[in-house]
Amino acid sequence: MTNAPSTPAPAFPHRHLLGIEGLTPLQILHLLDKADDEVLVSRQVEKKKNVLRGRTQINLFFEASTRTQSSFEIAGKRLGADVMNMSVASSSVKKGETLIDTAATLNAMRPDILVVRHHAAGAVHLLARKVSCSVINAGDGAHEHPTQALLDALTIRRHKGTIEGLTVAICGDIVHSRVARSNILLLNALGARVKLVGPSTLLPSGAERLCVETFTDMKKGLEGADIVMMLRLQRERMNGSFVPSVREYFRYWGLDSEKLAWAAPGALVMHPGPMNRGVEIDPEVADGPQSLIAEQVEMGVAVRMAVLETLAEHLPNA
């Protein structure tokens, strides 16, 4: 699996990164290996490479984002690209039309890489068909968020050495989570055992067909977990519609040190951020010794550099 950068063999033959779905385990590992190298770059005083010099990267965010957008921006800049951020208000009723119009407009500006986040599942795929550059999905609705799954995998692998054979509990609002979907695909591809834990109202239907086990009881769900991945509970889902209250949610599904003790000894805690302390996670755990949450952010930049660099290899005139 060693990957010689000098060989332009198609270790990663895709023009876009739209999701984890469709990636082979080898392709995933290729990106992770490359990301390991990028970590070193980011830790140097001289953080600049020039593999994307002259390239234009547009971060097109139809949905507000702080950490993903800045992570992609830093990743692009460290690789030498010219990065432009575009935040598009999504108030228009005719979203489909707006999306395609926007794509056509941007395409005419001849960018090399588009990083897109959109609130509707499938919007990034639609856009990818309308432009001639590479497209990276930075989150589409409740569908996929591939770079998050990759950065989670990188973080896990750097601590546990491998993904294969690990038990990973993904906890909380699974049904609305693109992070969960991408992680399920990636972790399954690399041979982990995935457990989904949350109230029945937040577990997706048909989950058993996704090669995962589901639990509504945290104790059973966390049992034997090497990794506990907490998900953010959106504010609008807290009061009565999906769960009755924050205090009840925290009581039964919030990760505190008592619940964490049900997981495997030394289990590591992750969260894609931003966290709601006191809702899905206790501050003591979030900021405790088993938490990898800060490290996930660092790995985010490395993974995005790896993805950008890999896709750039296939750009015209590369």
Nearest to another protein of 54, 244 (CB atom)? 244
Find the binder of another protein among 252, 264, 275, 298 (CB under 8 A): 252
In sequence order, the β-bridge partners of residue 283 are: none
Residue 213: CB minimum distance to another protein, A: 16
How many residues make contact with another protein (CB under 8 A)?
A: 16
Contact 214, 208 (CB under 8 A): yes
Nearest to another protein of 12, 249 (CB atom)? 249
Nearest to another protein of 187, 197 (CB atom)? 197
Q: Is 84 exposed, middle or buried (0-12, 13-18, 19+ CB in 10 A)?
A: middle
Find the binder of another protein among 97, 101, 208, 248 (CB under 8 A): 248
Nearest to another protein of 202, 306 (CB atom)? 202
Q: How far is CA 162 from CA 29, 39, 83, 187, 318, in A?
A: 10, 17, 34, 11, 32
Stretch that binds another protein, among 7-15, 196-204, 255-263, 310-318 (CB under 8 A): 196-204
- Strand segments (E) across the chain: 56-61, 82-87, 113-118, 134-140, 167-171, 193-197, 213-215, 227-230, 268-270
List the one residue out of 129, 100, 133 whose CA is nearest residue 115.
Answer: 133
Show the binding pattern over residues 208-247: x = contacts another protein (CB under 8 A), - = does not: --------xx---------------------xxxxxxx-x
Q: Is 80 exposed, middle or buried (0-12, 13-18, 19+ CB in 10 A)?
A: middle
Nearest to another protein of 164, 248 (CB atom)? 248
Backbone φ and ψ for 78, nearest 5 degrees, come out as: -65, -25
Nearest to another protein of 159, 247 (CB atom)? 247
Residue 111: CB minimum distance to another protein, A: 42
Name the helix (H) or strand (E) containing 74.
Answer: helix 67-78
Residue 204: CB minimum distance to another protein, A: 12
Residue 214: CB minimum distance to another protein, A: 11
Half-sphere exposure of 233 (CA within 13 A, CB side): 30
Q: Which residues bind another protein (CB under 8 A)?
A: 199-201, 216-217, 239-245, 247-248, 251-252
